[in-house]
Structure 1
Amino acid sequence: MTPRLARAGGRHSLAAFWRRRLSPWRTRRLLEAHLVVLTLCALVAAGALFLSCRQIQGGADALARDEAPAVQGLAATRLAVLRADHEARAVREMELADLAGSGESYQAQLSAADQGLSRIADRTDQDLGTVNGLLATYSTSIILGTANRDQPLMARQKLAEARSLLVRCRVGLVPRLEAMQRVQMKHAETTATEGWAQRGGWWLAELALAALALTLLSALFVLRDRCGRDWNPYLLAAFALTVLLAVVPLLTMSSAQDDLDGVVEDLRQITRVSEEDEGRKLSDAQQTVTETSEEVRRVLADDTWTDRVYQGTAIGGLLVAVLPAVGLGLRLDSDYGRRR
């Protein structure tokens, strides 16, 4: 037997198998059963896809709107107050307090710390009232400690008071900022991490799409074998759309999830860098935090393609439910509706 005849025989045997399996069913009931299964599979697949895509979109939006700016702001504030303290003490030790412009550097850092806390006030659910109060008190003490050159005893007292406000265990400004940053980092990780429910949603969507594709092929075979019809364009379009829905959203959202994982890693780097306490390296740490924060903002802002796929998934899910209903509904009406 030639290979061509063998392939032809295989196709005929497969068709005969399906005919034997479907022979006890009346054609009308068989088409109606296909319509019910197609509708159920399409609804499950569309719902699971929509929710899974929405979770990633929602996580990206929350990360860009609240979590990432809060982590970045807390890190920048911590570095700013540490650098302000380092430079203020350098000014005092070198007895430059009376020189014009000698206090501009640490005062600029104090201003940056205050602005950083103001920017994240509406981006975190943590209470910033105590931290703001500590920062204001610390700013007053450090300014008095560097300005009172004629009263060295008072200056030393104010500098000691400022240092205590800054680093006192658990209740100082820096330990409080560190604790808040750890909490905010956990929030960011939770927001960006793909959980078991989201992974289960993708599995459910893919399984429902696979069942939908197989049922569409079965419906096409029934129409061609029992009704003597050529390929139904509605069912063919639904099959092509099913394949697209099984591939494009999954690949696109997987890429988006990889971007979110990269953003979380960048935020971890910002947290590690912000723990730098040595004065000579604080400016380098601030530069690193600024550059990494810009990269995080760029990645989170570049989601145009993801938005389009999300919208396309919603439309495709609707069409993949409507097209089979229209295709089989018209065929049932044409073949059986007029006989009633």
Structure 2
Amino acid sequence: MTTPTPEGDPFAAAAEAVQTSVLAWRLVMAVADAVRRQQQRRQKGKEEGLPPAEQAVSEAAAEVTKLVPTDISTALMAGADWPQMAQQLVALRRAGVDLGEFLPRVGDIAVTVRDAVAENAARMAREGTGEWERMLRETLPAGPVREAILASPTWPDIAATMARLDERGVDVRQVLAAAHNEGVGVDQAVARVLAADATPAASRDAVVSYGPLTTGLDLPKDLDLGDRVRALRQLAISPAENERYTRWVREAMPQRGREADLLVNARQWPLVAARMAQMEKNGKPVREHLAQLMKDTSWEDGPRPQIGSRLVQAANDALRRPLGDATASRVKVNTTAARATSTTVGPTRPRAAEGAARAEGGIAPHRRESAPAPRRGRSR
């Protein structure tokens, strides 16, 4: 908590507003530096260290003085952590970021925060990082910036900064959104210097997961289902949420603990968990949908080694199927689609397929919600 400014003292109020804008600056710089480090680790296997503090201060001071409003630049360079921020700025420039474009944009963010503090009364601080993690997931789209923030060892410090900004009347979501845009720019600039694509190709997991399993989900291009912890983080599923969804599955499948474990331990479980998180956020009864797994047990039919994969499809179908729908599960083989994607059998109606493709306008399959396939009753 900061000391309240004397009532009616405009100079003290202005100083408080400037100091808060410096906090916003630190938040943006922490995000940018986290993205730079991760991009270098991903492409080179290691991150480049920070330049010597004395040299960085000399190089960065002229740029900050020239490109940042005077009151904010003065406060920045008077702070005890200015040498570290100067090192981060120089490291960004050496990584390929144009400070002539970056600094004015960060300066605009700081000015917005400064003005917001001057106009808003301080509010009570909120404790802990859980609330800020939820805000981060709700505000930022899945991708390298959000992953870099949550994976950064400085995440607790970032969350504390967000709490202090909120305490002083700042719209933290707006600052986060602006910081995200700068983080994307940093990610792309560093990637260009490392001879990487600014928009990397989709990973194999992202490609093979396209379809009903990911329809409507915010799927990151670099999805890595081989790393369970990272995949859950990429899909914005916290450990507590994953534990809760696991428990719900076991509750929905009483006396079927082995099958429930096969579902939860399946490679594509994070996608099922993401579907449950989306439904929970939208206020839908997730557990009631999961109960449909035991009303239609067609997932039992077939080779035992593939039951985990069938359960993933059945769970996704149960979550998407309207409650009270007594028809059989749609976890069936679509023979038309199988023929159309086969490497040995060509599509039965190529011209119709081409026309449909043109009509779709190139929309990614997992972003397009298709009409439900006709259902067929089960027969024994």
Query: Given the two structures, how large is their TM-score scaled by the length of structure 2?
Result: 0.20
The structure having more radius of gyration, on CA atoms, is: 1
Report which of the two has the higher share of helix: 1
Query: Given the two structures, how large is their TM-score scaled by the length of structure 1?
Result: 0.22
Structure number with the bigger relative contact order (C-alpha 8 A, sep ≥ 6) is 1
